[in-house]
Structure 1
């Protein structure tokens, strides 16, 4: 009952590969897998489905996407990003929200109530971003509109290569539209802070050269044998022509604009409050990334409490290593002693691979459902490595940064690998891919609080699974946990309390064993991407709260496998919806335990 009220409160307040399950083996007493139960349809289900199906089809057309193999993928162009297109989208989404408000949530089945909550948050995020004209600053210190247009790997068929060639030839138009938007942002004082984007222009350089040295050609180096040799040769020739006539000139033009016009005129203030309508913008960014209705002041206080708690844990672990000096001396020791650093890129990648394989051995005691899809481990591409984060995981690959190895401590790598690869983001994405049938928009909607909350939770889960082999690795995990807690303090401090960049750097460096390069890269990210970094810790706290409640109420009957399956089976949802559905899980488990006569304590 309480769970239903939580979900209803969220709904009103906000007013494809199908595969057979693969289950963990060799368990003498396996828990029951999560089963999708279909509830009786509500009288307004069809109305809601018609609304979100139509919106999703429209959205894909707006962004020039096509459907292949049951999933929406990039088409042969990059989509319209002009101010006129943005106004059209805002009008459409505003009307969608109006129509959604007319659907009584209590007339929807439980499944469709969840769909409505996800749909509302997704549409609101898109509309709100356009209202604030965030498209006038289409990049930050971490993510760029000019990045990610070339794939990490090749394509499976000739049609995909031809679509890629279409996008390559569309880059000049796409960049020109973004430049027009950025000039409009400059005119009204809405820009990325200059201090946070120093050096990011260098990421454009590699793409401004012609010939096979351009990274856009990489996808053509190794092509599937199913594509005839003559066709491969034609595609490669077309690629070189596109690079020479479209890609390289467009990137060169963008580089000139960035260095000669944008960066010199970018704002010097670093806080979101100094932006046009800055207070409302930052509050909306909090809701967008965390899906929670918390104020900056509340988040700052949560951060301070977490920092104090984790600091005590770190002090205890430092003593367990046998180190006799002070905490700052211990951090300096960790940052400088060669024993903690890989000597070659392969050594670092091999360490990460070792962690993933050890986690493979723990899967049977962690989940019932195991996805078939597998990821690979790759180094961060050279062209972005100097300004890229330490690692990032996704469906196809898990990237680790091997640039500047003296800044990549191995004691952090166990936590990083669990978070980014398995059972974190790569595993999470594979589960989502093979999830029970749900609407298209649910399969490709992502909320940072849910997704990043899971990533940070898996770091902590490693302590339950015995994956931290030394006190140094445990300290590395605590460093990562502290890093996410410190974000709550720094992000709100910078954007609402007048913190300087140096104060933020000193605060992060003084509380964690992160390398100085990572410290500065992270602070620049918080400066240029307001509120995004808040999602991690707040999402983890929400999930760990639900686990603690499940453990307390189910006692000896608690099994983490169906708990984890239930969470991941939800797909990406707003945090209030997650809490409501996990409340339902606890209620179901209580009833099951009562029926079987198993003790709860």
Structure 2
């Protein structure tokens, strides 16, 4: 049985910790940087001694960095998985100076190691490690932590467990973290003030209503997610310990945490929001054009220009539009495209009447997918996810769904904005064989350095998840033309991002232009469209990774089918992608082309073993 490790997709607990510390996405590396660090093992001509020395130096840096991070950010390993400890990380400027110094030195020592002296696996390790650390350094130097939230993700949310912990020690750590919230919030507010002073803030246009996500935490009774968490301590923790933990937790929440949230809410409404910048483009920030290019490199892991991405988006939007018209004709609709979108957004038969109905429909799709997985993958994980509603405190501004190791969350807020014909694609993307399955396989992967288990590259992870939406067409998941149109609408949504994100941050588009562009091309609700465009405004570059990662995997599959002919089997092809774990896109391309070359050289049986 493989060693149990932490999942590669943003784990809920660790993500909350890193976002609270101001750490944004992990992957910034140019194609030249990544390619230079992944020279194939076949070209290595060095002797064993230098190779052993290089490996030892590389893994010593991995170990040193891991130990430093454990001390610096306050998390610990429990049952083979990283969990937050009893404290929250410091976000003071001097803490960031300390982190900048550490990562700068690590990168300098890393660059002294010749990739050609390493094994293939260590070349991948080096590429992943360098990309994550380089992105971290760039964000720290640019002081992105002076705007420590965006329209989608907040440093004040995510402390409560999504599912109750089963062990006393987890609740003890939780109570200790809660007691640290007042200090942590004070530091975040001080950083936000520094950001305002130099014109670095979250755009005001993307923040409408986000202050309301704080309100639930200011209450002293039911409905406060932190108080409710202590009412859900499971019976696996016996009495009287359960009552003791509940009383200790409530005391900390009412005495320390609720006042801290009230102060934060007052600051947001009275001080921060009125002073945030009225511009929306990343290029309007200090050194903004360079910052946007850096964000593109971080999330896409390719050195693409905004113009190149914008033009790719326009071409793909045109292609998908033609496919949508074909599906509309199959549905027997005789009106215009705009009339079809209006019909889909308004006909009651496309919408659940209760939250349970929506969750039940998602569960049905997930179970249907289970029956097809044996035709899609050769290796299936043992770990299982559940399906849950998005928490009430964040649901009004949250996306339609999100998946992780333990659960898939579907938004049941405002049911008339949650069409059922979108659910099959959403389940494939977020649950299986998308994010939840991907995270489970990473959890059960063979032993690798810890950072490989905790790294997440949007181009890889989101590219795979979007690819699985298309894969659903090969799994007979879409039962009606409307569900197929929902899938195409999701594909259009991601292609349109290429146009809107670059339009806003490089071409001067307004928020209204972005909203109207998406509304005229995709069958999404108005609420989802506005939330999405606000996300692109406040999180430059991140949304670009989905479609570019998806096209990369589709192109690699087409190449494998062309090169291998009737020897192509999608199961080992998919296994090879997922066995890599999260990697920059150039590494994915190189490793999958090596997989194709092995398949061409071997027998079909060897191809199946090549994953």
TM-score by length of 2: 0.91
Given candidates 18, 26, 34, the residue that maps to 1:10 is 34
Q: Deviations over 1:298-345 (max 9, x none)?
A: 110111111011011001111111100010011001000111111111
Whether the aligned pair in 1 keeps the contact of 2:58 and 2:113 (CA below 8 Å) is yes
Give the whole-Å Cα distance in 1 for the aligned partners of 2:459 and 2:228. 34
Of 458, 461, 464, which residue of structure 1 is paired with 2:474?
A: 464
Unaligned runs of 5+ in 2: 1-29, 40-47
Residue deviations 1:346-383, cap 9 Å, x none?
11111100100110000110111111110110011111
CA distance 1:586–1:385, shift in 2 (3 Å) = same
Mapping of 1:35-54 within 5 angstroms?
A: 42-54=52-64
1:122 aligns with 2:146: no
Pair 1:328 & 2:352 matched: no
- 2:557 aligned with 1:547, yes or no? yes
Query: Do residues 434 (structure 1) and 458 (structure 2) align?
Result: no
Where do 1:123-142 residues align within 5 Å?
Answer: 123-142=133-152
CA distance 1:192–1:8, shift in 2 (3 Å): closer
Give a deviation string over 1:136-177, Cα, whole Å, max 9, x none: 000000000001111111112111100000001000000000
Cα gap change, 1:230 to 1:511, in 2 (>3 Å)? same
Q: Which of residues 212, 221, 227 in structure 1 aligns to 2:231?
A: 221
State the alpha-carbon separation in 1 of the partners of residues 573 and 307 from structure 2. Answer: 32
User: What CA deviation, in whole Å up to 9, does each residue of 1:515-556 have, x standing for no partner?
Assistant: 111111100000011001001000001111111100111111
SS across alignment from 1:513: coil
Structure 1 equivalent of residue 246 of structure 2: 236
Which of 312, 321, 335 aligns to 1:302? It is: 312
In the other structure, the counterpart of 1:155 is 165
Contact kept? 1:14, 1:120, Cα under 8 Å: no
Alignment RMSD (CA, Å): 1.7
Aligned pair partner of 1:503 in 513, 529, 532: 513
User: Offset of 1:588 from its aligned partner?
Assistant: 1.2
Structure 1 counterpart of 2:587, from 574, 577, 591: 577
Rounded Cα–Cα distance in structure 2 between residues aligned with 1:241 and 1:403 = 31
Q: Is 1:65 paired with 2:89?
A: no
Quote the Cα distance in structure 1 between the aligned partners of 2:453 and 2:445.
Answer: 9
Aligned partner of 2:377 in structure 1 is 367
Quick one: distance in 2 between partners of 1:226 and 1:96?
A: 44
* Contact 1:380/1:400, CA 8 A, preserved across alignment: yes
Query: Alpha-carbon deviation of 1:395?
Result: 0.4
In the alignment, the residues of structure 2 paired with residue 190 and residue 9 of structure 1 have an alpha-carbon distance, to the nearest angstrom, of 29
Task: Write out aligned runs for 1:298-447 (5 A).
Answer: 298-447=308-457
What is residue 19 of structure 2 aligned with on the other side?
Answer: none
**Secondary structure of residue in 2 paired with 1:398:** strand
Contact 2:518 2:529 in 1 (8 A): yes
- After TM superposition, the score normalised by the length of structure 1 is 0.93
Q: How far apart are 1:597 and its partner, in Å?
A: 12
For residues 275 and 320 of structure 1, the distance between their equivalents in structure 2, rounded to whole angstroms, comes to 47
2:303 to 293, 305, 308: 293
1:146 is aligned, of 144, 152, 156, to: 156
Distance in 2 (alpha carbons) for counterparts of 1:343 and 1:531: 36
* Aligned residues of 1:304 and 1:489 also touching (Cα < 8 A): yes
Change (3 A) 1:145 1:594: closer
Change in CA separation of 1:363 and 1:255 when aligned onto 2, cut-off 3 Å: same
Deviation at 1:595, TM superposition (A): 8.4
Cα distance between partner residues in 1 of 2:607 and 2:401:
46
Measure how far apart 1:8 and its partner are: 8.4
| Number of the residue aligned with 2:23 | none
- Residue pair 1:60, 1:72 contacting (<8 A) in 2 also: no
Is 1:514–2:514 an aligned residue pair? no
The whole-number CA distance in structure 1 between the counterparts of 2:397 and 2:182 is: 25
Q: Displacement of 1:596 after TM fit? A: 7.7
Deviation at 1:275, TM superposition (A): 0.2
Partners of 2:31 and 2:302 within 8 A in 1 = no
Query: 1:20 aligns to what?
Result: none
Number of the residue aligned with 1:99:
109
Whether contact under 8 Å (1:291, 1:574) holds in the other structure is yes
Shift of 1:212: 4.5
SS at 2:583 equivalent: coil
Shift of 1:289: 0.9
| In 2: Cα distance, 1:9 partner to 1:201 partner | 40
The alignment partner of 2:122 has SS state of: helix
Q: Is the 8 A contact 1:76 1:164 kept in 2?
A: yes
Gaps of 5+ in 1: 1-5, 16-39
Report the alpha carbon displacement of residue 72 of structure 1 after superposing the two structures with TM. 1.5
In structure 1, which of residues 253, 266, 271 is the aligned counterpart of residue 276 of structure 2? 266
Q: Is the 8 A contact 1:7 1:580 kept in 2?
A: no
Alpha-carbon distance, 1:224 to partner = 3.8
Q: Is the 8 A contact 1:42 1:109 kept in 2?
A: no
Aligned mates of 1:189, 1:597 — CA distance in 2: 55
